Amino acid sequence: MWNLLQIELFKIMRKPRTYLAFGIIAAFIFLIQLGLLVNGKDWMMFVMGSLGETMNIDYNKLLNGYAVCFFVLNLLLVHVPILVALVAGDVVSGEASMGTLRLLAAKPVSRTQIILAKFLATAVYVFALLAWIAVISLVVSLAVFGENDVVVAKASGLQLIEASDVLWRYFFAFGFAFIAMMVVAAISLLLSTLSENSIGPIVATVGIIIVCTLISEMEIPMYQKYIKPYLFTTYMLGWKGFFYIGSTADGETIKGSIQYLPAILKSVGALMLYIVVLVAASVFVFRKKDILS
Amino acid sequence: MSAIIEVNNLSKQFKEVKAVDGLSFTVEAGDVYGFLGQNGAGKSTTIRMLLTLIKPTTGDIHIFGKNLSTHRHEILKEVGAVIEKPDLYKFLTAYDNLAIFAKLSGMKPTRALLLDQLKLVGLEERAFSKVKTFSQGMKQRLGIAVALVHNPRLILLDEPTNGLDPQGIADMRKLILQLSREMGKTVLVSSHLLNEIELIANRMIIIHKGKKMVEGKVAELLDPSKSLVQLETGNDTLTREQLKQTEWGAMLQQNEQHLRISMNKRDVPRLVAYLVSLQVQVLSINPMHSLENYFLSLTTQPDHVESITN
Q: For residue A94, what is the nearest residue in chain B, using CA coordinates? A: B89
What is the C-alpha separation between B109 and B175, in angstroms, rounded? 23
Residue A50's Cβ-side half-sphere holds a number of Cα atoms within 13 Å equal to 0
- CA geometry: angle at B97 spanning B95 and B98, to 5°? 65
A&B contacts, CB < 8 Å: 76
Residue A204's Cβ-side half-sphere holds a number of Cα atoms within 13 Å equal to 20
B237-263 burial: b if 16+ Cβ within 10 Å, else e: eebbebbeeeebeebbbebeebbbbbb
Pick from B138, B48, B55, B120: which is nearest to A103 by CA? B48
What is the C-alpha separation between B47 and B62, in angstroms, rounded? 13
Kindly state whether B145 is in contact with chain A, defined as any CB-CB distance less than 8 angstroms: no
pLDDT for B54 equals: 92
What is the C-alpha separation between B37 and B159, in angstroms, rounded? 11
Q: Decide if B76 and A10 are in contact by the 8 Å CB cutoff.
A: no
Pick from A185, A292, A12, A279: which is nearest to B100 by CA? A12
Task: Note the pLDDT tens digit of each residue in A138-180.
Answer: 888 888 888 888 877 776 677 778 888 888 888 898 899 999 9
If pLDDT is split at 50, 70 and 90, which confidence band does B309 have? Answer: very low
Task: Note the pLDDT tens digit of each residue in A1-50.
Answer: 788 899 999 988 888 878 888 898 899 889 988 888 888 777 777 777 76
Q: Tell me if A255 sits within 8 A of A273, measured CB to CB.
A: no
- The mean of the pLDDT values for chain A is 85
B270-284 burial: b if 16+ Cβ within 10 Å, else e: ebeebbeeeebeeee
- Taking 70 as the threshold, does the pLDDT of residue B288 lie above it? no
Quote the crossing angle between the two packed helices B291-300 and B302-309, to the nearest 10°.
130
Compute the nearest-CA separation of B290 from chain A (Å).
Answer: 35
- Range from A112-121, A235-244, B233-242, B253-262 carrying the lowest mean pLDDT: B253-262
Residue B306's Cβ-side half-sphere holds a number of Cα atoms within 13 Å equal to 2
> What's the alpha-carbon Rg for chain B, to the nearest Å?
21
- The rounded percent of chain A whose pLDDT value lies above 90 is 23
- The mean of the pLDDT values for chain B is 84
Nearest residue, CB atoms, B89 vs list A4, A11, A102: A11
- Taking 50 as the threshold, does the pLDDT of residue B306 lie above it? no
E strand or H helix that includes residue B221: helix B218-221
What is the C-alpha separation between B42 and B57, in angstroms, rounded? 14
Q: For residue A108, what is the nearest residue in chain B, using CA coordinates? A: B73
Kindly state whether A228 is in contact with chain B, defined as any CB-CB distance less than 8 angstroms: no
pLDDT for B296 equals: 65
Nearest residue, CB atoms, A103 vs list B74, B101, B106: B101
- Range from B24-28, B101-105, B176-180 carrying the lowest mean pLDDT: B176-180
pLDDT for B254 equals: 66
What is the C-alpha separation between B200 and B181, in angstroms, rounded? 11
**Measured between beta carbons, which residues in chain A are less than 8 angstroms from residue B146?**
103
- Taking 70 as the threshold, does the pLDDT of residue A100 lie above it? yes
Question: What would the mean pLDDT of B22-40 be, rounded to a whole number?
Answer: 88
**Measured between beta carbons, which residues in chain A are less than 8 angstroms from residue B52?**
105-106
Kindly state whether B103 is in contact with chain A, defined as any CB-CB distance less than 8 angstroms: yes
Task: Note the pLDDT tens digit of each residue in A59-91.
Answer: 667 788 888 888 888 877 778 888 888 888 888
Q: Tell me if B229 sits within 8 A of B286, measured CB to CB.
A: yes
Between residues B26 and A258, which one has the greater pLDDT? B26
Q: For residue B87, what is the nearest residue in chain A, using CA coordinates? A: A99
Kindly state whether B73 is in contact with chain A, defined as any CB-CB distance less than 8 angstroms: yes
Compute the nearest-CA separation of B106 from chain A (Å).
Answer: 8
Q: Tell me if B97 sits within 8 A of B131, measured CB to CB.
A: yes
| Amino acid residing at B208 | H
Q: Decide if B88 and A100 are in contact by the 8 Å CB cutoff.
A: yes
**Measured between beta carbons, which residues in chain B are less than 8 angstroms from residue A106?**
51-53, 76, 79, 81, 83
pLDDT for A121 equals: 93
- CA geometry: angle at B53 spanning B136 and B82, to 5°? 25
Task: Note the pLDDT tens digit of each residue in B228-282.
Answer: 788 888 888 888 888 888 888 878 876 556 788 878 777 888 888 888 888 888 8
If pLDDT is split at 50, 70 and 90, which confidence band does B293 have? Answer: low
Task: Note the pLDDT tens digit of each residue in A166-219.
Answer: 888 888 988 999 999 999 999 999 999 998 888 888 899 989 988 888 888 888
Please state the φ and ψ torsions of residue B262, each to the nearest 5 degrees: -90, 105
Kindly state whether B93 is in contact with chain A, defined as any CB-CB distance less than 8 angstroms: no
If pLDDT is split at 50, 70 and 90, which confidence band does A292 have? Answer: confident
The DSSP bridge pattern shows strands B186-191 and B154-158 to be parallel
- Taking 50 as the threshold, does the pLDDT of residue B302 lie above it? no
pLDDT for B256 equals: 57
